[in-house]
Amino acid sequence: MAKLLELDGVWAGYGEATVLEDISFTLEPGASLALLGRNGMGKTTLLATLMGAARQTKGSLRFDGHDLKAVASHRRAHAGLGWVPQERDIFASLSVEENLTVVARPGPWDLKKVYATFPRLQERRANMGNQLSGGEQQMLAMGRALMLNPRLLLLDEPLEGLAPLIAQELLGVIAQMVAEGSMGVILVEQHAHQILPITRQALILERGRIVHQGDSEALAADPAMLDRWLGVAAH
């Protein structure tokens, strides 16, 4: 069986600026990865590179056995990559339901399943995107990505700026998706203690380079490592 994702010696950035250097790791189908690091260390750029929004200058990037380097960003979504960026990028002038159906692709994630996962979206289905709270917008951004029925879901700080109750609700949804194992998940989050318990693998970036990769549970139990690279203990 082909690896879901394979990066081998990838360098990437924006314009002439290099942000990522010599990034190598693999993900199996259905795997989950906590992507950690202090602010500005390259986490978002790594997701952008996977989606074709940053410029890959060296190395090999393969998804489901296929080389992605020359594949346009929108075609990567069609190939099975789903991305929820920090900015959410929902369509403000479309209704909730239109936001979801405009990108829908065949698969287990349909309107019924998204509404069952996020009942608040069903309640707000006729509201425009710009009429939603921050938490509802994040739910919509996640729901829209799921309607693509991706093989790999990229989540860039999905809990940022949300009220604690909403953040816990979304974390529970992500944990359930990881547990089901029907798609791979790469999850970027500032607070390691929130996502290490729900992911299987962890990777830490420092100045655009991988400084640690291994088992999430082992990293969660290593306060010295967390403090060294993230400036935080486990809690």
Residue (of 134, 120, 146, 119) closest to 86 by Cα position? 134
Locus of tokens 């020359």: 70
Whole-number pLDDT of residue 5: 97
Q: What local confidence, expressed as pLDDT, does residue 204 receive?
A: 97
pLDDT at 70: 86
Q: Is residue 74 part of a domain?
A: yes
Q: In the prediction, which pLDDT does 191 show?
A: 86
In a domain? residue 135: yes
Q: Does residue 17 sit within a domain?
A: no
127 part of a folded domain = yes
Phi, psi of 119, deg, nearest 5 = -55, -30
Q: In 142-207, at which residue ranges do the beta strands (DSSP E only) sit?
A: 152-156, 184-188, 201-206
Within a domain: 202: no
Give the CATH number, domain containing residue 178.
3.40.50.300
What pLDDT is stored for residue 45 in this prediction? 97
pLDDT at position 233 is 53
Contact 126, 96 (CB under 8 A): yes
Question: Looking at the DSSP assignment, which residues form a beta bridge with residue 56?
Answer: 12
What does the angle CA 152 – CA 57 – CA 20 come to, to the nearest 5 degrees? 65
Tell me the three state secondary structure of residue 210: strand
Q: Is 200 a member of any domain?
A: no
Q: Is 198 helix (H, G, I), strand (E, B) or coil?
A: helix
Question: What gap in Å lies between CA 113 and CA 102, rounded to an integer?
Answer: 16
Position 88 scores a pLDDT of 86
Residue 66 lies in a domain: yes
User: What is the residue range of 183's domain?
Assistant: 5-12+27-36+51-189+209-230
Counting the structural domains of the chain, the total is 1
pTM: 0.95
List Cα–Cα distances, 13 to 33, 56, 143, 188, 196, in angstroms. Answer: 21, 7, 29, 18, 27
Q: pLDDT tens digits, the chain, 235 residues: what are they?
A: 679 999 999 999 999 999 999 999 999 999 999 999 999 999 999 999 999 999 999 999 999 999 998 899 889 988 999 999 998 889 999 999 999 999 899 999 999 999 999 999 999 999 999 999 999 999 999 999 999 999 999 999 999 989 999 999 999 999 999 999 899 999 998 889 999 999 999 999 999 999 999 999 999 999 999 999 998 654 4
CA distances from 220 to 55, 127, 204, 215, 226 (A): 32, 40, 12, 9, 8
- In whole angstroms, what is the distance from residue 1 CA to residue 31 CA? 14
Q: Taking phi first (over 0 means left), then psi (-120 to 50 degrees means alpha), and beta for anything else, what does residue 53 get?
A: alpha
Amino acid at 74: H
- Within a domain: residue 22? no
